[in-house]
Amino acid sequence: MATKKIVRVKVNGREREAEVEPRLLLVHFIRDVLMLTGTHIGCDTTNCGACTVLLDGKPIKSCTLFAVQADGREVRTIEGVATNGKLHPIQEGFREEHGLQCGFCTPGMIMSACALLEKNPHPNEQEIRWGISGNLCRCTGYQNIVKAVQYAADKIV
Amino acid sequence: MLQKTSPEIGGMGHSVKRKEDLRFIQGKGTYVDDVHLPGMVYGHMVRSPYAHAKIGAIRIEEAMKIPGVLAVITGNDLAKAGLAWMPTLFHDKQMVLATGKVLFQSQEVAFVVAEDRYTAADEKFVRQVFKKP
């Protein structure tokens, strides 16, 4: 077992620090060390996108990154999307357009949608579908997820 | 014209907001994987990297010396209890954990229980189980 390393990551605006094994995955760091369980593990193989978080604003699948690789960087998770108890327009969209059933893929979907709308505030349907193409939904609710992102895009203006 | 009933008397023809959505869209759901109980430990299945291979001596005492390892269960352990081969719905019998040799890749060979998931899933166990192919 390799020696532990100190990792400092800014998570949802708050500086967090922990001593972790170098082999610890970022998603386990987020879920088990920081206890932010909103980020899910769906497949463990970088297929499903349930573990998507924003690393320095870019969507990444946190089961594919080691926690030590996030050292000195900024992570945003689903817990940091709403501000002061007010839902983000994307979250509102998922609720209004019935963009979820079981909700397991939802945090990852929302993070991917966040990244998409930050880069492209007015995507067309094709661009939305491309934007969430790294996220799988097994309730097969893509139609309503696209509507949810469109709802948010219309609202953000 | 289609008459809609009021939500108060059943809401036929209305869309209804789901009560559970609010927590799911904020990452506040509690899925099984989110549950942490005191004394909870982790299990991991050691699977064969080979399609056909003899199982070497599983040095359980040595594996148990790894800090955090609580138990290593093998096919031999199950055999002692008469549980190594179990009937299936197809009226045949199949190995639960392999005894002697494995017959397909990713066949279950041993089950490791440890205090954390990384210790349980450590590559060391695979190396301990198999001789060279």
HSE-up of residue A84 (Cα within 13 Å, Cβ side)? 0
**pLDDT at position B57 over 80:** no
Whether A76 has its CB under 8 Å from any CB of chain B: the answer is no
- Does the beta-carbon distance from B26 to A79 stay under 8 Å? yes
In angstroms, the separation between the Cα of residue A151 and the nearest Cα of chain B is: 15
Mutate to test the interface with B, among A11, A86, A106 (most CBs of B within 10 A): A106
How far is residue A38 from each of residues A85, A110, A135, B98, measured CA to CA in Å? 16, 11, 15, 37
Q: Average pLDDT of A70-76?
A: 98
In angstroms, the separation between the Cα of residue A18 and the nearest Cα of chain B is: 17
pTM: 0.87
- Does the beta-carbon distance from A81 to B26 stay under 8 Å? yes
Chain B residue at shortest CA distance from A89: B25
The CA distance from A157 to B23, in Å, is: 26
Whether A110 has its CB under 8 Å from any CB of chain B: the answer is yes
Rama region for B63: left / alpha / beta (φ>0; ψ in -120 to 50; rest):
alpha
Token code pair at residue B31: 């899925």
In angstroms, the separation between the Cα of residue A37 and the nearest Cα of chain B is: 6
pLDDT tens column, B7-19 = 666 667 777 788 8
Element (H, E) at A7: strand A5-11
- pLDDT at position A93 is 97
Q: Average pLDDT of A40-53?
A: 96
Token code pair at residue A14: 């708050």
Give A114's pLDDT tier (boundaries 50, 70, 90): very high
Whether the predicted interface score ipTM is above 0.85: yes
With beta carbons under 8 A apart, name residues in chain A contacting B36: 35
**pLDDT at position A1 over 60:** no
**pLDDT at position A145 over 60:** yes
Q: Average pLDDT of B62-75?
A: 89
The CA distance from A141 to B36, in Å, is: 30
Nearest CA-CA partner of B40 in B126, B120, B96: B120
Token code pair at residue A101: 């059933």
- Beta-carbon contacts of residue B48 (< 8 Å; ≥ 6 apart): B98, B102, B104, B105, B106, B107, B109, B129, B130
Q: Average pLDDT of A38-44?
A: 96
pLDDT, chain B, mean: 86
- Top pLDDT among B100 and B1 is at B100
In angstroms, the separation between the Cα of residue A28 and the nearest Cα of chain B is: 10
Backbone phi, psi, residue A60, to 5°: -135, 155
Give B133's pLDDT tier (boundaries 50, 70, 90): very low
Q: Average pLDDT of A131-147?
A: 94
Cβ-contact B108, B47 below 8 angstroms: yes
The CA distance from A107 to A50, in Å, is: 7
